[in-house]
Homo-oligomer: A and B are copies of this chain.
Amino acid sequence: MLTYLSKKKSEINNLFASFLQQVKQDAERINAWGPDTVDRLQEYLSRGKMIRGALVSVGHEMYGGSRGQQSLQVGAAMELFQAAFLIHDDIMDQDLFRRGKPSIHAQYREVLKSQGGASAGQRTEHLADSLGICVGDVALFLAFELLGTLEVPIELLQSLLKLFSRELVYVGFAQMEDVYYGGVEASPTEEQILSLYRYKTGRYTFSLPLMAGGILAEAPSSTLEDLALLGEKMGILFQLKDDELGLFGDAEEVGKPVGSDVISNKKTLYRYYLFQTVQGENRKRVQKLFGSSPIHREDLLFLRSLLTETKVKERVDRLMDTLEQESRRIIAELGVAPEWREKLFQLVEYNRNRGK
């Protein structure tokens, strides 16, 4: 699966090279921001793993589709949507790093500062955020250009456009919920947390590209429904693993500072179950820990042992087991060739057991 993904990434990168070259050339007559933005986007895109983009080809090839070039184009659109979301998310979360380098708005902070910064009464940071919002919007429009110029029968084009616009609308609503609970005292219910995982990670990261590939291969609608459900299961599993790594992961392996989810008071399912269970002195200490900075190693060890003692860790582990089993069951019943079944099993295995 890893070889497959990296092959698809290089094919999508090639597609970007020619598409963005053309956009850049056309953009030169607008102003200097045009070509500069295209260059920044291309560099930013090249640093992604492009799993979402590659999953379009997976969904397409496993149903025997013959639209290889079109599925790469849809994959490239998927990666541009993802870039747009990351660019906007990083502004919302005020994250200055992404994919190992400065995030887009952080890049503009540097550019602006090197030119003397904002004029009196204006904030350089706000100006940089504003430029970042524009770049995110531009990435969205370019993604729709890739979708809109697909050479496929009109029924497929319309299905794809409807699928993308509607799922992206839902991602937007899920993101609002995420942003909201990230910024206020109140906490979401278990149902709200799982719904957020379903729409922001599950359907968007897994169901959407698999379904798009299925549409290109003209798979029947019952298959598309199976892929949607599979994506939800795999995505919630992926997100729970992400939460686990945020609490139990090794800093060097995970690649982000230990306890950053605790510091940002991320309203995870672990946190929800923990507050359901813990009482007395421990509860007070936990309440103080979430949202405070810095988190020391002993605080994290305390949290970890508490999550184990209260059986919260076990509870989430069981949920992940269930999601893993359900994913494997759906895959087994998809009716695809053993080669593809194996690839999907590997993806489930990765979502369940990855170290970062």
Binding site for B on A (CB under 8 A): 23, 26-27, 30-31, 33-34, 37, 84, 88, 91-92, 94, 112, 115-122, 124, 126-127, 129-131, 133-138, 140-142, 144-145, 147-149, 153-154, 157-158, 160-162, 164-166, 168-170, 172-177, 179-180, 183-186, 192, 195-196, 199, 265, 291
Q: List 14 A-B contacts (CB under 8 A).
A: A30-B174, A37-B176, A88-B133, A88-B137, A91-B130, A118-B184, A130-B179, A135-B176, A138-B169, A141-B166, A148-B161, A149-B158, A157-B157, A157-B158
Q: Which residues of B contact A173 (CB under 8 A)?
A: 27, 30-31, 33-34, 37, 134, 138
User: How distant is A110 from chain B, measured CB to nearest CB, in Å?
Assistant: 14
Tell me, rounded to whole Å, the shortest Cβ–Cβ distance linking A57 to chain B.
22
Residues of B within 8 Å of A142, CB to CB, are 165, 169
Which residues of the partner chain B approach A37 to less than 8 Å between Cβ atoms? Answer: 172-173, 176
Q: Which residues of B contact A138 (CB under 8 A)?
A: 169, 172-173
Residues of B within 8 A of A162 (CB): 145, 148-149
Closest B-chain residue to A179, C-beta based?
Answer: B130
The closest CB in chain B to the CB of A265 belongs to B119
Chain B residues contacting A127 (CB-CB under 8 Å) are 179-180, 183-184
